[in-house]
């Protein structure tokens, strides 16, 4: 038990629940089970009642003030793990959804190469091409590139 104010004695488990709920706000029962262990009746009751308990809400506010809002968000590794686990669950029943979760996992883990250079977008059947400057500058760069390519080819032919 912890003394919150001169008149309120707080069950330490409520404070644990408040912090756990900040980390996992969508599964109060799972949070309560971590605290109550095998006492599923107590965990169920806590998950239903403590979510709106003033002590829990106040402790969450204090924790956010103290540690900041982002302290309770999942890490990149947590998100990648969850996406991969969901992929494995859906693989047999919904392959299309499973593929999306696997793709999400790959993106989170930065397995896709970063796009560099010019990116062309197509919107409403119109191809949007990035601006390459004036026509004269573009033509000059294109000629230089062609000359370099020609020189490489000629050099490779002469060396054989």
Q: pLDDT tens, position by position, for the chain (160 residues)?
A: 454 555 555 688 999 999 999 988 889 999 999 999 899 999 999 999 999 999 999 999 999 999 988 888 888 888 899 999 999 999 889 999 999 999 999 888 888 766 665 566 666 777 777 777 788 888 888 899 999 999 888 888 887 6
Name, in order, each residue with C-beta under 8 angstroms of 64's C-beta and a sequence gap of 6 or more: 22, 72
Distance CA 101, CA 79 (A): 11
Name, in order, each residue with C-beta under 8 angstroms of 129's C-beta and a sequence gap of 6 or more: 118, 120
The dihedral over CA atoms of 114, 119, 124, 126, expressed in degrees to the nearest 10, equals -160
Distances from the Cα of 135 to the Cα of 119, 129, 149, 159, angstroms? 19, 14, 21, 36
Return the pLDDT at 114.
67
Distance CA 30, CA 97 (A): 25
User: What does DSSP assign to residue 93?
Assistant: T
Crossing angle for the helix pair 12-23 and 54-67, to the nearest 10 degrees: 60
Can you give the C-alpha Rg of the chain in angstroms?
29
Structure tokens at 155: 């050099």
Q: Which residue has the tokens 């020189």?
A: 151
- Whether the full predicted model's pTM is greater than 0.85, yes or no, is no
């Amino acid at each position: 038990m912890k003394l919150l104010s001169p008149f309120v004695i707080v069950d330490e488990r409520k404070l644990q629940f408040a912090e756990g709920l900040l980390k996992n706000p969508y599964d109060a029962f799972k949070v309560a089970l971590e605290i109550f262990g095998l006492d599923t009746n107590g965990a169920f009751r806590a998950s239903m009642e403590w979510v709106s308990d003033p002590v829990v809400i106040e402790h969450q506010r204090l924790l956010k003030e103290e540690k900041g809002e982002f302290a309770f968000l999942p890490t990149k590794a947590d998100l990648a793990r969850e996406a991969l686990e969901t992929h494995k669950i859906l693989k047999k029943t919904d392959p299309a959804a499973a593929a999306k979760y696997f793709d999400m996992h790959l993106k989170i883990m930065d397995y896709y190469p970063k796009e560099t250079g010019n990116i062309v977008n197509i919107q409403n059947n119109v191809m949007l091409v990035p601006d390459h400057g004036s026509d004269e500058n573009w033509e000059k760069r294109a000629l230089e590139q062609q000359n370099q390519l020609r020189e490489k080819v000629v050099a490779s032919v002469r060396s054989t």
